[in-house]
Amino acid sequence: MSAGMTVRAVIFDWSGTVVDFGSRAPAAAFVEVFREFGVELSEAEARGPMGLPKWDHLRALGDLPRIGAAWRAAHGRAFENADVDRLHEVFEPLTARVAARHAALVPGVVEAVRELRRRGVKIGSTTGYTRPIMERVGPLAAEHGFAPDNLVCAGDLPAGRPTPLMMYRCFVDLAVWPARAVVKVDDTAPGLVEATAAGSWAVGVAMSGNAVGLAPEELARLGAGEQARLRDAATDALRAAGAHYVIDTVADLLPVVDAIDARLAAGESPPAPPP
C-alpha cells in the first residue's frame, strides 16, 4: 500500500441511497406488476431480493414457495423464465413512471458529494434499475443537484449484482485504482456484495434504504425506541451482507470516508467479507 493513499472514488447506489428515501418506488412496482398478473405480494416479500437486477429480482420472487404456489393457482402451471420475460416487459415502463415520481434526493446528498468532489474524489454509480428507467430518473436527480461521473445500469454488462462487474466498469470509466481506494455506498445486500467482491470498501445505508423501507414522514411519526429497533435490525442485516461501516443516510458519509482514509494511510485493506 502506498503511503498517504486516500479514497479516490465513491460509487453510489441510487434508490434508497441517493434518491427515493425509503426505496418506495421499486417495492411498489414489484407489488403492482405481480398484481397485474393475478398474484398478490406483500411489500416485505417484494423487498426481499432488492438490489438484484430487476429480471433476477422477478425470478427470485417467483421462486419463493408461496408466490410460486400463488402463480400456479392463478395460471395453472409453474412459474417459468418466459413468465419473467412477460413480467419484465410490463415492469420496466411501470417502474420508469413510478421511479420518476420518487426521484427526490435524500437530504444531505448534494452537500456530501460537493465535499467529496472538493477533495478530488470521483463520483460513480451503479443501480439495479435498467437504462430505460434511469433515462427518466437520472435527469430529474441532476436537476436537484446529483449528477455522477458515470452510471452503470442493470443489463449493461453480462452480469450484474452481486457480481463485481459493475464495480469493475466504474473503475474503468473513472480511471481509478486500486479497488481498495474505492468506496461503495448501498442500501441492499447485493449492492454491498458487489463491493466486497471487487475488493472495495462497503458502506451500508440503514435508515433511508430498503431495510427500513419508510418514507421520511412515516419514520418521523415513530417513537425513538421504534426507530432504534429498525436501525439495529437494518444495521445487523447490512453488516451480515459485508458492510464495513453502516450509516443512517448519505448525510453521515464524510466521517466514514475520513476513517477509511486513515486506514488506507496506515496500510489497511478492506477486511474480507463474512463467510
What SS3 state is found at 245? strand
Query: Mean pLDDT over residues 53-79, rounded?
Result: 95
- Nearest-angstrom CA–CA distance, 225 and 184: 29
The pTM of the full predicted model, rounded to 2 decimals, is 0.88
What SS3 state is found at 186? strand
Question: Which amino acid does the sequence have at 65?
Answer: P
> Residue 241: CA atoms inside 13 Å, Cβ hemisphere, count?
32
Catalytic residue among 54, 186, 248, 261: 54
- Nearest-angstrom CA–CA distance, 105 and 16: 9
Any idea what DSSP says for residue 271?
P
In this prediction, residue 53 carries a pLDDT of 86
Closest CA to 92 of 20, 34, 29, 50: 29
Residue 122 bears catalytic tag = no
Quickly state the pLDDT bin for 3 (edges 50, 70, 90).
low
Beta bridge partners of 184: 11, 202
- Nearest-angstrom CA–CA distance, 201 and 198: 9
In this prediction, residue 138 carries a pLDDT of 96
Cell, residue 114? 460537493
- Nearest-angstrom CA–CA distance, 135 and 140: 9
pLDDT tens digits for range 151-205: 999 999 999 999 999 999 999 999 999 999 999 999 999 999 999 999 999 999 9
Triad 190, 191, 195: Cα angle to 5°: 110
- Kindly state the helix (H) or strand (E) to which residue 203 belongs, with its residue range: strand 201-205
- Nearest-angstrom CA–CA distance, 98 and 46: 15
What SS3 state is found at 202? strand
pLDDT more than 70, % of the chain: 99
Over 70: is that where the pLDDT of 71 sits?
A: yes
In this prediction, residue 1 carries a pLDDT of 39
Residues constituting the chain: 275
Phi, psi of 274 (to 5 degrees): -65, 150
| Residue corresponding to grid cell 434526493 | 105
Listed in sequence order, the residues at least 6 apart from 104 whose beta carbon sits closer than 8 Å to its beta carbon are 19, 20, 21, 144
Over 70: is that where the pLDDT of 18 sits?
A: yes
Residue 83 bears catalytic tag = no
pLDDT tens digits for range 102-157: 899 999 999 999 999 999 999 999 999 999 999 999 999 999 999 999 999 999 99
Query: Using N-to-C axis directions, what is the helix angle for 24-36 and 54-63, rounded to 10°?
Result: 60
In this prediction, residue 7 carries a pLDDT of 98
Q: Quote the mean pLDDT of the chain.
A: 94
| Residue corresponding to grid cell 418506495 | 24
